[in-house]
């Protein structure tokens, strides 16, 4: 193994949400298959579960469902009316291909909702809320894997955040959903609104799982005087790549100040994280370890092992 740290540097940049799907190196045929599967799953979640019980989801789809109940208008029409303008507005920021795929996906969802009959699977409210969210979340996630969206919520929040610098995209999505479910209390009643919130949480968890899978990555930064020993343990025993970069010690309990030392950075799956921590603690029980979630990682040793 090459002992040169530069040759082992992997430090992949995390890609999340829309950016991850835009840059995913999928063929158009594979993208189309993901989008078709996503449309079918989302439509089944809506018509097979939620609509008969008058539950809603979050986001732009939730707004469409709420107004469909109030205005007695077809949900398929409202989904087009509320989602496609955001695709058009975000065309420059998302790219033409992404916008086209999203328009096709949303149009396909509206068409399926209007024309394809689905059985009403269950009348149990808890099962309806949970499994309706599961199928909707899976549908949105599959469409995103194919480089498209079926709900314009992220696009809407992204556009607004460009002009309101104090709020992040995630903050705007949270505020939007709070408004939606507050409106649901007034229109649908408290019980239906609470079940709708359960639907949203189920959809969000499944969406995250579809996008990230069980191999969710964790970035780990390790500060230790024995950084080279830790590097060797990670590369030789765990089979992972590392990035080494230089830093200086602040004034801590050991009394060091300004001493130069190498800092180790690596990316592992959450299943490998306990083994990594154990290796580091065996080498240096006083090592400083910082870990944080990474939604995706590409290239380097991370992906090479999965190919064998």
pLDDT (tens digit per residue) in 227-277? 889 999 888 888 888 888 887 766 656 556 667 788 899 988 777 888 888
Closest by alpha carbon to 147, among 203, 58, 214, 87?
87
Provide φ and ψ at 271, rounded to 5°: -75, -25
Contact 211, 146 (CB under 8 A): no
| Cα-to-chain-centroid distance, residue 110 | 24
Strand arrangement of the beta sheet that strand 288-294 belongs to: 242-248, 260-269, 217-223, 288-294
The string of DSSP letters for 164-187 reads -TTS-HHHHHHHHHHHHHHHHHHH
At what angle are helices 153-161 and 75-89 packed, to 10 degrees?
40
Count Cα neighbours of 183 within 13 Å in the Cβ-side half-sphere. 18
**What is the mean pLDDT of the segment spanning 197-209?**
91
Query: Is 58 strand, coil or helix?
Result: coil
Q: What are the boundaries of each domain within the chain? A: 17-212, 215-307
Distances (CA, A) of 82 to 77, 146, 170, 183, 247: 9, 21, 20, 17, 50
Q: 3-state SS of 75-104?
A: HHHHHHHHHHHHHHHCHHHHCHHHHHHHHH
pLDDT (tens digit per residue) in 116-151? 999 999 999 999 999 999 999 999 999 988 888 898
Predicted confidence (pLDDT) at residue 8 exceeds the cutoff of 50: no
pLDDT of residue 306: 37
Better-scored residue on pLDDT, 175 or 47: 47
Among 95-99, 159-163, 203-207, 274-278, the minimum mean pLDDT is found in 159-163
At what angle are helices 96-115 and 28-45 packed, to 10 degrees?
40
CA–CA gap between residue 31 and residue 97 (Å, rounded): 11
pLDDT (tens digit per residue) in 82-110? 998 888 877 777 778 888 899 999 999 99
Joined tokens for residue 126: 């808890």
CATH topology of domain 215-307: Alpha-Beta Plaits (3.30.70)
Predicted confidence (pLDDT) at residue 188 exceeds the cutoff of 50: yes
Contact 34, 142 (CB under 8 A): yes
Query: Is 23 strand, coil or helix?
Result: helix
Q: In sequence order, what are the residues at sequence separation of 6 or more whose Cβ sits closer than 8 angstroms to the Cβ of residue 2?
A: 8
Mean pLDDT of the chain: 81
Name the DSSP letter for residue 287.
Answer: -
């Amino acid at each position: 193994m090459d002992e040169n740290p530069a040759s082992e540097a992997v430090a992949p940049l995390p890609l999340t949400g829309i950016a991850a799907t835009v840059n995913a190196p999928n063929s158009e045929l594979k993208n189309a298959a993901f989008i078709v599967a996503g449309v079918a799953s989302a439509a089944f979640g809506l018509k097979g579960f939620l609509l008969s019980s008058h539950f809603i989801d979050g986001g732009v789809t939730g707004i469409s469902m709420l107004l469909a109940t109030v205005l007695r208008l077809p949900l398929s029409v409202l989904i087009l009316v509320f989602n496609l303008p955001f695709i058009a507005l975000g065309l420059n920021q998302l790219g033409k291909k992404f916008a086209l795929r999203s328009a096709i996906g949303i149009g396909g969802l509206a068409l399926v909702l209007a024309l394809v009959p689905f059985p009403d699977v269950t009348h149990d409210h808890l099962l309806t809320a949970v499994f309706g969210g599961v199928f909707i979340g899976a549908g949105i996630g599959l469409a995103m894997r194919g480089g498209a969206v079926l709900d314009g919520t992220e696009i809407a929040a992204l556009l607004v955040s460009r002009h309101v610098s104090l709020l992040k995209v995630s903050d705007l999505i949270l505020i939007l959903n709070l408004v939606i479910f507050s409106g649901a209390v007034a229109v649908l009643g408290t019980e239906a609104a609470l079940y709708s919130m359960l639907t949203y949480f189920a959809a969000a968890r499944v969406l995250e799982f579809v996008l990230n899978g069980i191999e969710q990555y964790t970035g780990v930064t390790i500060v230790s005087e024995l950084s080279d020993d830790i590097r060797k343990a990670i590369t030789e025993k765990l089979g992972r790549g590392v990035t080494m970069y230089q830093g200086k010690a602040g004034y801590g309990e050991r009394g060091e100040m300004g001493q130069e030392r190498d800092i180790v950075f690596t990316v592992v799956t959450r299943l490998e994280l306990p083994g990594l921590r154990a290796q580091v603690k065996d080498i240096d029980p006083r090592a400083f370890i910082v870990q944080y979630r990474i939604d995706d990682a590409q290239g380097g040793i991370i992906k090479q092992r999965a190919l064998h």
